[in-house]
Amino acid sequence: MLLNSSFENKIIPVQILIVNYGQWSATLNFIYSLKNQSIEIVVLDNFFSDNCRKKNKKIINQIKLLDVKIIEFNHNFGYLGAPIEYLKIKESKLFKWTIISNNDLILDYGSVIDTINNAIKRDSDIWSIAPSVKEESGKELNPYFQKPLTKYKKNAFKIYYINFLLAKFIQFLRKLFLPEKIENSKYEEYIFAQNGAIFILKNDLIKKITEEGLLSFLYGEEILISELIKRNSKKIFFTSSLRFTHKHSLSTGEGFSQFKFKWMKLAYKNSLKKGYKFYS
């Protein structure tokens, strides 16, 4: 079963770069869900462990048989860092759009190509497409933020990022008094920021990301992409015509940890240093 067309037969305008960190079974399941999509599929393995690769050799061979390219890094470049590193060495002019995604996703419905074509017809200023991304609980992760943050929310984040224990306490209070709602995502609109589980990016934006550099090893992708799009007077478009299910934090682990807080806070601080308007 071929998941993507060969270069000899057809020019493929879209590529997806799936970032893997040792969870080969999840990666294979995601690839299977993409079976009817005419896109180039590349797996970027950030988990530089020979033991892990040997242990998962059977699954890795299954993926290769599906005409999927696997790039094995000998260094962990982080979630957005791995695609940027790959694109530095890989000529990608063939592709007009690049999808960057976690591996803990399953495509539920919709056509990637049709979604991109419809966005292009709608507005040439769209640089990023945010699909519907549902957690297994049914919670919708997009839009990340529909509108720019209010002064109240920006001040709340200042308090949140003072230290880990305070952040954890705030999260506890939020869950206690503001339970998460299962949102209706049957609509389309321009939004301020999208969730980082999957990005569908025009290659003009990919170039800007490479030039700008990352905010941190992990996290901050939503801030960076939102900033670059607004800086260049472009748009993020949310659509529910393409939907994924997300198994939350498969790579970084469930729950809120000091490890996660460290990188989230670094992205926050660096965005302020660079003068990004997201939080300031």
pLDDT digits (tens, 9 = 90+) for 36-85: 899 999 999 997 777 888 889 999 999 999 999 999 998 899 999 999 99
H or E stretch covering 127: strand 126-135
Q: Quick one: pLDDT at residue 184?
A: 64
Domain span including residue 116: 14-273
In angstroms, the Cα distances linking 130 to 26, 142, 154, 171, 240 are: 22, 7, 23, 25, 9
27 within a domain of the structure (yes/no): yes
Neighbouring CB atoms inside 10 A of 161's CB total 19
d(CA 268, CA 219): 9
Tell whether 165 is covered by a domain.
Answer: yes
C-alpha 69/C-alpha 200 separation (Å) is: 19
- Whether residue 25 is contained in a domain is answered as yes
279 part of a folded domain: no
- Provide the whole-model pTM: 0.90
Give the angle 240-242-244 at the CA atoms, nearest 5°.
100
The answer to whether position 74 is within a domain reads yes
Identify the segments of the chain with pLDDT beneath 70.
Answer: 1-12, 91-93, 178-186, 248-254
Maximum Cα interatomic distance, the chain, rounded to a whole number of Å: 57
Identity (one letter) of the amino acid at 196? G
In eight-state DSSP terms, residue 233 is: T
Q: Which pLDDT score is estimated for 68?
A: 95
CATH number of the domain encompassing residue 175: 3.90.550.10
Question: What pLDDT does 5 receive?
Answer: 41
Quote the pLDDT of residue 53. Answer: 85
pLDDT of residue 49: 75
Question: How many distinct structural domains can be found in the chain?
Answer: 1
Specify if 23 maps to a domain: yes
Q: What is the pLDDT of residue 256?
A: 81
Q: Classify residue 19: in a domain, yes or no.
A: yes
Q: Is residue 54 in some structural domain?
A: yes
| Rounded Cα gap, residues 218 and 220, in angstroms | 7
